[in-house]
Amino acid sequence: MKKTLLLLSYLIVFQLFAQQSYYNDVDLWLDGMALKDELATKIINTHTHTLDYDDAREALKIVDLDPGQNDNVLLIYGFAPELCPASPGNDNDHRRRDKSDFGGAADCEWNREHTYPKSLGTPDLGTSGPGADAHMLRACDVQRNGERGSKKFRDGSGNSHTVNSDYWYPGDEWKGDVARMMMYMYLRYGNRCLPINVGFGTTNAFDSNMINLFLEWNAEDPVSDYEVNRNNYLANAGNTYGQGNRNPFIDNPYLATRIWGGTPAEDIWGIYIGVDDNNLDQALILYPLPVKKVLYIKGIDNFQIKSVQILSLTGKVVKEFENLNNNTLSIEQLKEGIYIVKIQTLQGLISRKLVVN
């Protein structure tokens, strides 16, 4: 689901302020399996409220509301137009449904879709624990839910449909959502929810449990405001059906790129710009970290630093340096907290997280 440039700008600022702080105790500058393990630990430890299956149903009536039509839930895999046979005039039945029309009838009702099918878990996910995790469950048209069944995901194009009789393509609009949910389930439940057991595609070079298909979908279908809103609700354990934990790949799809490589996804936070290009990140050393009064920057391979900006998590420039003296920065006027350092060099732009204490 695509965002306008205006929404992109808003989300960058909002995410930095309201979401990245969730990761203050995570070393976001790790990569590969080290970053995967840190994020997994974070979302496991903060999953403080476990929903039962009935709770999950009620949660979907809140987190899956159709934007602008709060009497309806938005249905995953859905597309328009499609007339609902039992209710002529209620169009787009595969895409939206009155939130009160929950049930198992074949026509014009919705139910809970396990995007990671229960039977593909090892063991079966059931309807509690991972089987009731609202980060993975979605409202879905009963017929489309039945058509998908437990088919593994496979690449395709256009609207959702069965592929080669045995696989399922979620649709161009939903494939990024699916990818980010599958990656979340892998981190949250480990070997019980392996990506290779729920999708068909080439095996990732860095992690034999991941398939590159989900990395491609994550990059091709950017995060929508719909995903952001449901992630924010579920992250708040104070909400009636909040779980307390987040899906990191909705917060920043580029985290998947940092872990598994593949097709570069969008860096919503904007903190990795230049980091993974031409190994710039490895050519610059900042110390000491955390820092109290003076920060030193050391570049190797004849790096030339042109300027340095220190930004708050809301994106506001709080300190700026030019014509550095021995690449030494005095930051004693900064309050304790988390900042972003952007270092402009002749070779490119490098961004780092900075902890001041």
**pLDDT tens column, 38-53:** 999 999 999 999 999 9
Q: Judge whether residue 254 has pLDDT over 90.
A: yes
Residues whose CB falls within 8 Å of the CB of residue 316, separated by 6 or more in sequence, listed in order: none
Q: DSSP letters of 280-313? A: TGGGEEEESSSBSSEEEEEESTT--EEEEEEE-T
User: CA 136, 34, 175, 24: dihedral to nearest 10 degrees?
Assistant: 70
Q: Judge whether residue 8 has pLDDT over 50.
A: no
Task: Locate CATH 2.60.40.1270 in the chain.
Answer: 281-356
SS3 at position 72: strand
Taking the C-alpha atoms of residue 222 and residue 79, their distance in angstroms, rounded to an integer, is 18
Task: List the one residue out of 149, 186, 185 whose CA is nearest residue 168.
Answer: 149
Q: What backbone torsions phi and psi does residue 125 show, to the nearest 5 degrees?
A: -75, -25
Contact 290, 355 (CB under 8 A): yes
Contact 178, 195 (CB under 8 A): no
Q: Give the pLDDT confidence of 84-129 residue by residue, as tens digits.
A: 766 555 566 789 999 999 998 767 899 999 999 999 999 999 999 9
Token duo for residue 291: 């820092």
Which residue blocks in 197-337 are alpha helix, DSSP H?
A: 212-220, 225-235, 248-251, 254-260
> Residue range 58-70: average pLDDT?
93
> Residue range 130-155: average pLDDT?
96
Is the CATH code 2.60.40.1270 the one for domain 281-356? yes
Q: Judge whether residue 4 has pLDDT over 70.
A: no
Q: Give the pLDDT confidence of 268-280 residue by residue, as tens digits.
A: 887 775 555 545 5
pTM, to two decimals: 0.76
> Residue range 167-175: average pLDDT?
98
Assign residue 302 a region (left: φ > 0; alpha: ψ between -120 and 50; beta: otherwise).
Answer: left
Question: 169-173, 210-214, 237-241, 286-290: which range is least confident on average?
Answer: 286-290
pLDDT attached to residue 273? 58
What is the crossing angle of helices 32-45 and 175-189, to 10°?
Answer: 80
